[in-house]
Structure 1
Amino acid sequence: MAIASLVVVASASVIDFVRSVVTAWLRTGCLYLGDDTFHSFYTATSR
C-alpha cells in the first residue's frame, strides 16, 4: 500500500513538473519566437 501511494504521489508531482515546464516553454517560446511562429507550431502539433 505504501509503495502504491508513493507511486501515485511521485507520478502526480512528475505530471505537475512536466506541466510547469511545458507552460514555461510555451510562454518563452511565444515571447522569443513571436506569435506567428508559435501559432504555426501550435497548429502543426494540435492536429
Structure 2
Amino acid sequence: MTQAAHRPLLVAFLVMLMVPAGGCSAVNRLSMIGERPAMSSIDDPTAAHG
C-alpha cells in the first residue's frame, strides 16, 4: 500500500481513539440536564487583607 492509501486508515484510527474520550464528557453532561449549575461564592478582592 502507498502512503496515500494509509492516510484513511490513520484518520480512522485517530477518530476511534478520540470518540471514547469525548463520549465520557457527553454522557456526564447529558446526565446533568435540568440541574442548576454549581455557583461559587463572590469574594470582594478589595476587602482582602494584605
TM class, shorter-length: 0.3 to 0.5
Q: Which has the higher helix share?
A: 1
Higher RCO, Cα 8 Å, sep 6+: 1
TM-score of the superposed pair, with normalisation by structure 1? 0.47
